[in-house]
Amino acid sequence: MPNANGELARAKLALLDLYERGVSVNIAEWVGRHPQHRDELLDYWMWLSSTTRLTDTQRIAVAPGERIAEETLQRACMSVSLGYQWLEPSADHGDIEETLGYELERLRNLPETKTGRAPKPFRRAAVYAWIVSNVTKEQVSRLTVQKTAFLLERAMNLGLFTEHRRKRFGPYDHTARYKDAEPIASKKDWLRVQDTSLAPGDSAGEARKYAVRYLKSEKLAKQLLDILVRLSDSQLETWATVEWIAGRLAHTATAPTAEDVRAALKSMPEWSDKLGRANFTTWHIEEALSALKLLRLVPM
């Protein structure tokens, strides 16, 4: 089941994004989608709609040094309003580690380090089995593991899960399924295959001993998985597909919108039929974009 606090936070972030872009919002429709958060969303919208939008003109008018302070204050206010913890600057580290998204972005920018001499298929198998063990104690769908591996790669730039291609249910790695990660991990009993589901194997602990060598930060990887595990398969498909498309729209001058994503889907024969599916409505794409922006996997 999706985490209630996480769902409320994503809804608020989506509303904030729409408001700042001047998009008309029918708050009654939003409340209808999230009846369990009716009072919180109404209160948030009443407060948000009474504030002044941060227009492009206002941003340009701010001097570079002032802009940094302004953006820091905005992020602090956003963290409070969305229910995320705000971390004060550390005297030891000299910078602000505000959210998981900022931590992941910093990690991606670190120089690559050597991870040993093990061949890539072995490394992929170890991390793949690690994913299975960290998203379930019993069994999980192969789709969940595939999409989680994809988003983990994009978030941490591991250089492992780079074989994904456009398939019916979003980015999919046939090599992991048929050639290395899953077969190798299964043979070593790091995971067990049960039809279309995967489960931790009896030797899953052995896989972790190797996987921690290939994950840039097991701590951050686990934090990301804690978020992804709350999502349904259809939500994971939406997130992975939207992230894929946003990456290909990165050359544009502005952050991608739901309309941009839907236009891109329409132009792709493999994915155009997604436009008629419930998890690719404009609203679901906007929600995915907002969450991915928070994780800094999509340009703000």
Give tens-digit pLDDT for 102-149. 889 888 887 766 666 789 999 999 999 999 999 988 899 999 999 999
> Which of 94-103, 111-120, 261-270 is predicted with the least confidence, judged by mean pLDDT?
94-103
Q: What is the pLDDT of residues 215-241, one digit of tens each?
A: 999 999 999 999 999 899 999 999 999
DSSP character for 98? -
d(CA 9, CA 101) in angstroms, rounded, equals: 14
3 state SS of 195: coil
The angle subtended at Cα 68 by Cα 66 and Cα 71, nearest 5°, is: 110
Pick from 251, 261, 250, 252: nearest CA to 288: 261
Asked whether residue 19 carries a pLDDT value surpassing 80, the answer given is: no
Alpha helical stretches, state H, the chain: 4-20, 27-33, 38-49, 56-61, 64-82, 100-108, 120-135, 142-156, 174-178, 181-187, 204-214, 218-228, 233-248, 258-266, 282-294
* DSSP calls for 222-235: HHHHHHHTTS-HHH
Pairing of strands 170-172, 165-167: antiparallel
Going 135 to 138 to 144 to 149, the CA torsion angle's sign is positive
Helix orientation angle between 142-156 and 120-135, rounded to the nearest 10 degrees: 110
Q: Is 218 exposed, middle or buried (0-12, 13-18, 19+ CB in 10 A)?
A: middle
3 state SS of 24: coil
What are the domain boundaries of the chain?
4-108, 120-228, 235-294
Return the pLDDT at 264: 93
Would you give the distance in Å from CA 62 to the centre of its chain?
Answer: 31
181 and 71 Cβ atoms separated by less than 8 Å: no
Output the pTM of the full model.
0.69
